[in-house]
A and B are shown apart, each in its own frame.
Chain A
Amino acid sequence: MMDWLAMGGYAGYVWGSYGVTLAVIVGELILLGRRRRRALERACSELEAIDGD
């Protein structure tokens, strides 16, 4: 296991690649969720504004 994690001395390069890739994918998904929530909230508030007339 430790051998595997050490990646033959290239741990920083290999895990640095995999880790950052995972981080930006997770980041993209978080931003996507936030964009969707905001869009829905705005659409809902517009609906209420229309209904309020």
Chain B
Amino acid sequence: MSFIYRFASPATFYPLAGALVPWFFGVAAALALIGLYIGLVAAPTDFQQGEAYRIIYIHVPAAWMSMFIYVIMAVYGVLFLSLNTRLSAMMMSALAPTGAMFTFVALWTGALWGRPTWGAYWVWDARLTSELILLFLYLGFMALQAAIEDTRRADRACALLAIVGVVNVPIIYFSVKWWNTLHQGASVSLTAAPSMARIMLTGMLIMALAAWMYSIGATLLRVRAIIVEREAGSEWLRRHVGGRA
């Protein structure tokens, strides 16, 4: 347990995160290159949708990330409220902009995919609407953080918002089962064999892994900036920053 607490201290985590960032970005870039090659060049044309289906290689990984990141934010929210660890609150805040970015990408690519396949950029379907609410939750989280001057109170309010808002994630995920949606059901699930060709699935999973690595890299980079913002003036940061001044 003492091991966890040691790394839960910003002073220990700051240099550790800094050392890890280039690795996560490097792996993300390598995976993205492989995934893009499979998705845009190697994988065959879809017999129903033609080349338009190639949007799947960013749409699905982005949509998965948008949901995962929110769940992780809620977990950090619970950790912060129960253990009162400062770093949990910083991680929660560091995740939000990346989550919002992926939610926007999921919606944008979905619109550009919907137009040629459904004939509309947007429909008020359960899947699309709940994903749009997810974007508003992310934006609301960031706005709430910025609106409250006192950092500790802002963190508490944001943790509550993250925890309450997480109810939307299963709604997004199961929306295609619970309601009749224009959006198709899951092509990949834990319980059934995937309903897509192996090479397409491989490309999509590699892109999803790249999105994971990118998200971890971006979050670690942002949490480092947040640590500097919040711990400015502390003795340990003096030693780090002092060398750069």
- Does the CB pair B238–A13 fall under 8 Å? no
Q: How far is the CB of B240 from chain A (nearest CB, A)?
A: 9
Count contacts on A: residues with CB < 8 A to the other chain. Answer: 30
Contact between chains at A8 and B51 (CB < 8 Å): yes
CA distance A13 to B224 in the complex (A): 37
Shortest beta-carbon distance, A4 to chain B, in Å? 8
- The answer to whether residues A7 and B228 also contact, given A13-B113, A29-B218, A36-B221 and a CB cut-off of 8 A, is no
Encode B92-121 as 1/0 by CB contact (under 8 A) with A: 000001100100110011001101100000
Bound complex: CA of A46 vs CA of B232, how far in Å? 7
Which of the listed residues A35, A42, A50 has the most CB atoms from chain B within 10 Å of its own CB? A35
Q: Do A36 and B228 contact each other (CB < 8 Å), given the known contacts A25-B101, A29-B218?
A: yes
> Is A42 within 8 A of B116, CB to CB?
no
Q: List the B side residues contacting A50 at CB < 8 Å.
A: 233
Q: A35-B225, A44-B245, A47-B241 are in contact. Are A14 and B55 (CB under 8 A)?
A: yes
Task: Flag if B232 contacts A42 (CB, 8 Å).
Answer: yes
Chain B proximity of A30: nearest CB distance (Å): 12
Closest to A36 in B: B225
A10-B52, A13-B116, A18-B58 known; A43 and B98 CB under 8 Å?
no
Q: Once the chains bind, are A7 and B54 in contact (CB under 8 Å)?
A: yes
Chain B interface, >50% SS class: helix
Q: Report whether B116 and A39 are in contact in the complex, using a CB–CB cutoff of 8 Å.
A: no
User: In the complex, A28→B58 CA distance in Å?
Assistant: 17
Total count of chain B residues near the partner, CB < 8 A: 39
Query: In the complex, what residues of B have CB within 8 A of residue A8's CB?
Result: 45, 50-52
Contacts of B232 in A (CB 8 A): 39, 42-43, 46
Bound-complex Cα distance A18 to B113 (A): 12
Question: Which single member of A20, A29, A35, A42 contacts B105 (CB below 8 Å)?
Answer: A20
Contacts of B112 in A (CB 8 A): 12-14, 16-17
- B interface with A by C-beta (< 8 Å): 40-41, 45, 50-52, 54-55, 58-59, 62, 97-98, 101, 104-105, 108-109, 112-113, 115-116, 214, 218, 221-222, 224-226, 228-229, 232-233, 237-238, 241-242, 244-245
Residues of A within 8 A of B (CB): 4, 7-10, 12-14, 16-18, 20-21, 24-25, 28-29, 31-32, 35-36, 39-40, 42-44, 46-48, 50
Contacts A9-B50, A32-B225, A50-B233 known; 14 new A-B pairs at CB < 8 A: A8-B50, A8-B52, A10-B50, A14-B52, A16-B112, A17-B59, A18-B40, A20-B109, A24-B105, A32-B218, A35-B225, A39-B232, A40-B241, A48-B245
